[in-house]
Amino acid sequence: MSIEKRLEELGIQLQTPAQPVANYVTTVQTGNLVFTSGHGPIGDDGQQIKGQLGTDMSIEAGYQAARSVGIGLISTLKAALGDLDRIQRVVKVVGFVNSAADFLDHPSVVNGVSDLFVEVFGDKGKHARSAVGMVQLPGGIAVEVEMIVEVE
């Protein structure tokens, strides 16, 4: 099944890809690897999802924010590649969680994006990953994620 059909089956609509807010690009391809810039979470209302885990945001809300980042990343890859079926493997995911100093469950938050990639890409979506906490993220966003994919 094509990735586009899988997204439709899951009821996932791609977003308008994020545009750079400074002197960088959203993707760089070198050889058969595509690296994305960090993406933040966008809610259904089109606004950034802000909050700090362990202060004013629950793990479930953080999980959903990370999932929304994943949809944004897939949207960016669609714009960059033209065809999501060119993706051979999600290689690496790095998730940054805006969290209080005593918050310890960063992996549960970043699971939102990891679970999405496996739902969408199947076994090709299983990846190496880092999930780390940050005292703050740009604009107060809850989560930022970057990734590396292998393409044909």
Mean pLDDT, the chain, integer = 97
pLDDT tier for residue 21 given thresholds of 50, 70 and 90: confident
Q: Average pLDDT of 107-127?
A: 98
Say if residue 37's pLDDT is above 90. yes
Reduced to 3 states, what is the DSSP secondary structure of residue 126?
coil
The count of C-alpha atoms lying within 13 angstroms of the C-alpha of 75, restricted to the half-sphere facing its C-beta, is 18
Task: Please state which of the four CATH numbers 3.40.50.880, 3.40.190.10, 3.30.1330.40, 3.40.190.80 is assigned to the domain occupying 31-151.
Answer: 3.30.1330.40
- Write down the pLDDT at residue 114: 98
Say if residue 27's pLDDT is above 90. yes
Report strand pairing: 128-134 vs 87-98: parallel
